[in-house]
Amino acid sequence: MDELPVDPPPSDLRQRLLEEVAALPSRPGVYRYFDAAGQVLYVGKARDLKKRVSSYFHKTHADARIGLMVEKIARLETTVVRTEAEALLLENNLIKTLQPRYNILFRDDKSYPYLKIVSHRFPRIAYYRGAVDQKHRYFGPYPSAWAVKESIQLLQKVFRLRTCEDTVFTNRTRPCLLYQIKRCSGPCVNLIDADDYARDVANAERFLRGGEQEVMDALQAQMMARAEALQYEKAAEIRDQIGALSRVLHRQAVEDNSGVTTKDADILAARVEGGRACVNLAMVRGGRHLGDRPYFPAHVDAAAEFGEERTPELQVLEAFIAQHYLDGAAPPLLITSHAVDPALLEALSAAGGVKVGAQHQPRGQRRAWLDMCEEGARLKLAQLLAEEGSQRERTRALVDALDLAVQDLDTFRIECFDISHTAGEATQASCVVFENHRMQSSQYRRFNIEGITGGDDYAAMRQVLTRRYAKLAEGAAGGHARLPDLVLVDGGRGQVAMAREVFEELGLDLGLIVGVEKGEGRKVGLEELVFADGRPKVALGRESAALMLVAQIRDEAHRFAITGMRAKRASVRTGGSRLEDIPGVGPRKRAKLLQRFGGVRGVGHASVDDLASVDGISKELAEEIYRALH
């Protein structure tokens, strides 16, 4: 029988690591620390690998968390590169891929909304979120959906561009309400010719790029030309456009001391407090301030970056810039609350192909923008800390109310289940997760329930609990999956009894199961907790912080189940598609199909020949409809 490998004594391991460090070159590179289990602890970059890595093993660490990390290091790996900019790029890629425990990590959320001008003879403006392409024109990104919609409303007021879908546009016979309130020029019924509409679109695009004065000059010239041609009604319409633009135009450009306008800039302010951090990002595009957006990284309290004069705020700010911009385009100017490493700007310029500059001590208008951004970071971090403090108190209240043996509140995990269906149709179960004092939406799961009698909630609960915990009970789940500290079931004694049966079959602790039973009259605040291990029911009271947390988690499970059930029901009823999504099926043809077959379900059951018998439906379109619904 082969002998299992034996870990070297701590002294031998330390000596081996010191020898490896002594052999490192004094060149730029990236280093990675691993624990005994092979899990990556930390990824870092260095101008001088030998000097930086040596500092971990030869310094006395005032921060106990950093000392703890150093004690866990069992192996190190290094990669030598040519420049510090290359080290930054490699470090960023490794951090995103490996998600180390001791690095500052920002959630990879690049899903910014855009304002889209859809290609068409009469282009429309629309809100858009997703990957951009070459077919249409996109403006942004914007920090929020509100900012996009505000810009759309502005363009409607000034340039009167349409927002309706092409199917609606094609089938209009008279102008809609937007035309009546002067938010659209009525191209659907030829109330404006293509050339004039194209001119409005061009002016709108110029405005979005920051050319407000160019737009004003062009409109003035057009108005005078119309007046000289005795086209007084057209001249009056352009005059009204100029007036509307003057009323809504509020100059928000960032200008330097030489008066040069910066059309595109990002303003970044970092703040660290109470073990949490916030980076507030404000965007200026086309000379207009589009709003701001906060980011809250993980692992701030465990960050182990070393360096000269590197404050926690600077560490967080540079981590954000690297993770946010290095694999995407950065604007030509960053206005920052702290001076960032020039090598980072060099890497940004190389990655985006555009020279990126930074300024951390601005004056004039830029100073005002940065002050606003810093105040936003302070307020949003304070709000986060207040909310987390409240949530932590709720977690503690629930643990105390249920007399649970919990060593670390921050790792306390609750999973809650709910069943949803409509008269037995499209049954789905939801599982939502509460951990670290907040809902963990990335860990939510939905389960399609099949093979049961419609409407049998008990059988549905049995199926979902078995599917969720069978592998965990066998220890075969793999990864970092673990049993929760509490399993909430939305239901009373019946659902709890079913959960008890499942846990008994799987050999799991019955003390984990708690049912949320509605109180007298099903009134909110009168819920009672039902236990599977025989303990008497508990009524926490309307003002109880523990009940507030239970209700929050239960309501989230219900919401998640309802939305999933409705989506599944719609898919079942329409054969996985909707008539509105089928090219060539406009409002009139859709109405004829629904009238002929009595609803979408009837259309889905119709044959190709039946569909083709409807007035206006060709054989080719009937085949397309049939394919889409089956």
Query: C-alpha 187: how far from its chain's center?
Result: 36
Architecture per CATH, domain 575-628, reads as Orthogonal Bundle (1.10)
Instruction: Write out the two tokens for 398.
Output: 């629930």
Predicted confidence band at 199 (pLDDT cuts at 50, 70, 90)?
A: confident
- pTM, rounded to two decimals: 0.62
**Nearest residue to 358 via CA among 368, 372, 348:** 348
Predicted confidence band at 525 (pLDDT cuts at 50, 70, 90)?
A: low
The CA distance from 385 to 50, in Å, is: 39
Q: What are 177-195's pLDDT values in tens digits? A: 898 888 898 999 989 889 8
- Res. 374: pLDDT tops 90: yes
Q: Which position has the higher pLDDT, 576 or 542?
A: 542
Residue 344 has φ and ψ, to the nearest 5°, of: -65, -40
The CA distance from 308 to 493, in Å, is: 62
Q: How far lies 17's CA from each of 8, 26, 60, 266, 285, in Å?
A: 12, 17, 17, 42, 50
Q: Return the half-sphere exposure (C-beta side, CA atoms, 13 A cut-off) of residue 86.
A: 8
Instruction: Write out the two tokens for 170.
Output: 């094609």
Per-residue model confidence (pLDDT) at position 279: 93
Per-residue model confidence (pLDDT) at position 256: 45
Q: How far lies 23's CA from each of 16, 74, 625, in Å?
A: 11, 17, 69
Weakest mean pLDDT among 267-281, 406-420, 554-568, 572-586? 572-586
The CA distance from 518 to 528, in Å, is: 6
The CA distance from 269 to 319, in Å, is: 13
Residues 6+ apart with CB under 8 A from 416: 431, 432, 434, 487, 488, 489, 490, 553, 554, 556, 557
**Nearest residue to 88 via CA among 57, 46, 130:** 46
Tokens 């968390």 belong to residue: 65
298 secondary structure, DSSP code: B
Q: Provide the CATH number for the domain formed by 10-98 in this structure.
A: 3.40.1440.10
The CA distance from 344 to 340, in Å, is: 7
Q: How far lies 153's CA from each of 157, 199, 213, 227, 600, in Å?
A: 6, 19, 20, 29, 34
Burial (CB count <10 Å: 0-12, 13-18, 19+), residue 458:
middle
- Between the two ends of the chain, the Cα-to-Cα distance in Å is 59
Burial (CB count <10 Å: 0-12, 13-18, 19+), residue 476:
exposed
Alpha helices by DSSP H, listed for 106-187, are 145-159, 166-170, 177-180
AA identity, residue 193: D
Weakest mean pLDDT among 104-108, 369-373, 401-405? 104-108
Confirm if 223 and 245 have CB atoms less than 8 A apart.
no
Residues 6+ apart with CB under 8 A from 334: 265, 266, 267, 268, 321, 340, 345, 356, 357, 358, 359
Predicted confidence band at 1 (pLDDT cuts at 50, 70, 90)?
A: very low
Confirm if 173 and 267 have CB atoms less than 8 A apart.
no
- Res. 360: pLDDT tops 80: yes
Per-residue model confidence (pLDDT) at position 110: 55
Average pLDDT over every residue of 522-540: 79
61 secondary structure, DSSP code: P
- Res. 249: pLDDT tops 80: no
Instruction: Write out the two tokens for 167.
Output: 């199917």
The three-class DSSP label of residue 210 is: coil
Per-residue model confidence (pLDDT) at position 328: 67
Instruction: Write out the two tokens for 208.
Output: 């979005």
Residues 6+ apart with CB under 8 A from 162: 122, 124, 125, 169, 178, 184, 185, 187, 188
Per-residue model confidence (pLDDT) at position 156: 84
Q: Provide the CATH number for the domain formed by 409-572 in this structure.
A: 3.30.420.340
Q: What are 438-478's pLDDT values in tens digits? A: 898 888 998 888 888 777 888 989 999 999 998 887 764 55
The CA distance from 151 to 163, in Å, is: 12
289 DSSP β-pair partners: 284
Query: C-alpha 432: how far from its chain's center?
Result: 18
419 secondary structure, DSSP code: E
Confirm if 164 and 186 have CB atoms less than 8 A apart.
no
Confirm if 341 and 305 have CB atoms less than 8 A apart.
no
Per-residue model confidence (pLDDT) at position 574: 45
172 secondary structure, DSSP code: -
340 secondary structure, DSSP code: P
Q: What are 70-79's pLDDT values in tens digits? A: 888 888 999 9
